[in-house]
Amino acid sequence: MDETIAEFIKRTILKIPMTEMTTILKAWDFLSENQLQTVNFRQRKESVVQHLVELCEENNASLNDAALLDIICEDVDLFDMKQFKSSFKKVLQRALKNVTVSFRDAEENAVWIRIAWGTQYTKPNQYRPTYVVYYSQTPYAFTSLSTLKSNIPLLGQALTIASKHHEIVKMDLRSRYLDSLKAIVFKQYNQNFETHNSTTPLQERSLGLHVNMDSRIIHENAMEKERVQRVTQETFGDHPQPQLEFAQYKLETKFRNGSILAEREEPLRCLIKFSSPHLLEALKSLAPAGIADAPLSPLLTCIPNKKMNYFKIRDK
Amino acid sequence: MDSYDAPQLTPRQSASSRPENYFIGATPLQKRLESVRKQTPFVLTPPRRKIPQCSQLQEDVDPQKVAFLLHKQWTLYSLTPLYKFSYTHLKEYSRLLSAFIVSEKQKGLAVEVGEDFNIKVIFSPLLGMKGTQKDSEAFLVQILSKSQLPSENREGKVLWTGWFCCIFGDSLLETVSEDFTCLPLFLANGAESNTAIIGTWFQKTFDCYFSPLAINAFNLSWMAAMWTACKMDHYMATTEFLWSVPCSPQSLDISYAIHPEDAKALWDSVHKTPGEVTQEEVDLFMDCLYSHFHRHFKIHLSATRLVRVSTSVASAHTDGRIKILCPKYLIGVLAYLTELAIFQIE
């Protein structure tokens, strides 16, 4: 066996976690039952690997065989839904004893999880469950948190362990519409914009000028109106906005207006909340309506890009 | 219930006395009335109002009753003067109104499922709830459910409360004859159907007229400024404003809450005239809030509609709803509302 192949096989096997070693080797089906039985898997990993590489030499492993092993390792790395579910359930049951966990597979590698929470001594409350939607191919999960604050860390732990990630971080993004959250998080809302290719000139489209208009009538501020439309479109795009209901800003910034409060060092502590059945569409309409300047503040326009709708703003 | 002694109604003031003497800073309304009466040209001067202070007369008000009136949502109405209303007949009014309510409900005009017809009505005076001695005495009307069990509290549960009062209502008093009692401010708490029935009875019995009292953005700004100006030992609530943005197709609400100490600091920096609030100061105070907001969001709040203001003293909604939180400034808040009510009646 070529030295490079031996090295490659050694490194590939080293990457395999011990818990999966036998599974993978069996799937590879390159070393025989008898050969595998001669290996003491309880040794230190380096020794196990050493022994396995020697066995591969015996069988005269080729580059193809090594490549196959590599593919199998990748395959097993891919998400195992069954394992996720069982692991998730185990974590919760070990901690709480009384908990009802149900799963439903959905489209796009999504799994819906329903959890009814109890405690060590009380039965699970079926009327206030928590729902989680986990997209296995992504590092995102969406939860509806109608549950006691005390259960949240446990939920986070279960998700992290079962999905084999390192940690879970709560995002400052909330909405009543799962599809909107998905659109923002997976950047799906931009697709229309990228493929959109309009041939009508911007002027006609956005100002709705009529062809038969009396030429004696001049639109005051036509230039400014056009600029506002253009800037708004650049910021928001032509596509429908994802549906969010609110955005919240905690401000701690100094007041700056001439002589008023000029000597005051401390900032003003404000909490601003925007709410609307369709917040982004409403914000989009503000500049054209003359209620806001164009371009709108980046604090507002960054919401889909930053995937946040809860902000803390301080003076730099 | 003890019989109630009618207050001595002071004789009508002669036209030569000026209402301005009774407190600093006549309201624009009073000035207008004066000039109309005397047929002098009316000059619009910038209005100013006294910052609410703890009223002397308020010391007399039963603290239990005050506690009952605070922290409740009241819907506001203006009420034209009552014809031939007598404070000595309160018991009789109770009886008549009870009977009226029961008959209306039995007619099925106001149907609420599971309604108990075992109700009674109580008229009770609110001593001390006035601005000057000339103000008519305030009183409460309450609908209580009659308790079934004799062992329970005799009074039963309060289902609905209506509150008639007049705070610094001199200008209205001047314009009516002795047969009329002026209680231009009416506040109601409880089911809308009950308010309607009570209103109907009063209108029929005393030939008066109730009208819902809305509060426009201009007055809401004044309230916000005045209540921020009030001296507080400690703050119970954050100072908050709510704007409604007229954009289509979706509505947008903007809530702007500011720490009450910071609001006070901002006000103090703007405030120049001791003891009083001027139009200029109100405008400047609001402009400061607008500019701070614009700096961050590039949105012109002045182009939107102010819908609600809330402070540790009281909160008010443009639809004519109010909640009073601070007992110290109860009279002050009512004085402003009385002024708005009188303005609407005129």
As a whole number, mean pLDDT of residues B183-200 equals 94
pLDDT at A205: 39
* Terminal-residue alpha carbon distance, chain B: 36
Identity at B343, one-letter amino acid code: F
CB environment A69-94: b (16+ within 10 A), e (fewer): bbebbeeeeeeeeeebbeebbebbee
* Terminal-residue alpha carbon distance, chain A: 63
Q: Tell me if chain B has a CB within 8 Å of the CB of A231.
A: no
Task: Kindly list the residues from chain B whose CB atom is less than 8 angstroms away from the CB atom of residue A275.
Answer: 252-253, 255
Task: Kindly list the residues from chain A whose CB atom is less than 8 angstroms away from the CB atom of residue B252.
Answer: 274-276, 279, 282-283, 286
pLDDT at A161: 87
Task: Kindly list the residues from chain A whose CB atom is less than 8 angstroms away from the CB atom of residue B292.
Answer: 253, 255, 257, 268, 270
SS3 assignment for chain B? CCCCCCCCCCCCCCCCCCHHHHCCCCCHHHHHHHHHHHCCCCCCCCCEEECCCCCCHHHHCCHHHHHHHCCCCEEEEEECCEECCCHHHHHHHHHHHHHHHHHHHHCCCCCCCCCCCCEEEEEEEECCCECCCCCCCEEEEEEEECCCCCCCCCCCCEEEEEEEEECCCHHHHHHCCCCEECCCEEEEEECHHHHHHHHHHHHHHHCCCEEECCCCHHHHHHHHHHHHHCCCCCCCCCEEEEEEECCCCCCEEEEEEECHHHHHHHHHHHCCCCCEEEHHHHHHHHHHHHHHHHHHHCECHHHCEEEEEECCCEEEECCCEEEECCHHHHHHHHHHHHHHHHHHHC
* CA distances to A23, A307, B13, B223, B287 from B257, in Å: 60, 24, 46, 16, 15
Q: Tell me if chain A has a CB within 8 Å of the CB of B268.
A: no
Task: Kindly list the residues from chain A whose CB atom is less than 8 angstroms away from the CB atom of residue B303.
Answer: 290-291
Best of A256, A272, A300, A302 to substitute, by most chain B Cβ atoms within 10 angstroms, is A272
Instruction: With a cut of 90, say whether residue B319 has pLDDT above it.
Output: yes
Within 10 A of B200 (CB to CB), how many other CB atoms are there? 15
CB B237 within 8 A of CB B325: yes
- Nearest CB partner across the interface for B296, out of A251, A273, A282: A251
Instruction: With a cut of 70, say whether residue B110 has pLDDT above it.
Output: no
CB A30 within 8 A of CB A57: no
Q: Tell me if chain A has a CB within 8 Å of the CB of B252.
A: yes
pLDDT at A105: 84
B251 and A276 in contact by Cβ < 8 A? yes
pLDDT at B214: 95
Query: CA B190, B195, B196, B198 torsion: positive or negative?
Result: positive
Identity at A77, one-letter amino acid code: D
pLDDT at A203: 37
Instruction: With a cut of 90, say whether residue B184 has pLDDT above it.
Output: yes
As a whole number, mean pLDDT of residues B71-99 equals 93
As a whole number, mean pLDDT of residues B288-309 equals 94
Which has more confidence, B19 or B99? Answer: B99
Residue A146's closest CA among A119, A127, A163, A159? A127
Whether omega for the bond prior to residue A295 falls within 30 degrees of 0, making it cis, is yes
Alpha-carbon gap, residue B254 to B241, rounded angstroms: 8
- Given a cut of 70, the residues of chain A with pLDDT beneath it are 75-79, 146-147, 188-220
The Cα of B239 is separated from the nearest Cα of chain A by a number of Å equal to: 9
Convert the pLDDT of each residue in B210-242 to its tens digit: 999 999 999 999 999 999 999 888 888 899 999
Instruction: With a cut of 90, say whether residue B258 has pLDDT above it.
Output: yes
Task: Kindly list the residues from chain B whose CB atom is less than 8 angstroms away from the CB atom of residue A264.
Answer: 265, 269
> Does the predicted model carry a pTM greater than 0.80?
no
pLDDT at B163: 94
Convert the pLDDT of each residue in B33-42 to its tens digit: 555 555 444 4
A272 and B293 in contact by Cβ < 8 A? yes
Convert the pLDDT of each residue in B111-150 to its tens digit: 554 455 678 899 999 888 888 888 899 999 999 987 655 5
- Nearest CB partner across the interface for A277, out of B251, B257, B303: B251
Task: Kindly list the residues from chain B whose CB atom is less than 8 angstroms away from the CB atom of residue A313.
Answer: 296
List all residues of chain A from 84 to 143 with a beta carbon under 8 Å from chain B: none
User: What percent of chain A has pLDDT above 90?
Assistant: 12
Best of A256, A266, A278, A291 to substitute, by most chain B Cβ atoms within 10 angstroms, is A291
pLDDT at B16: 38
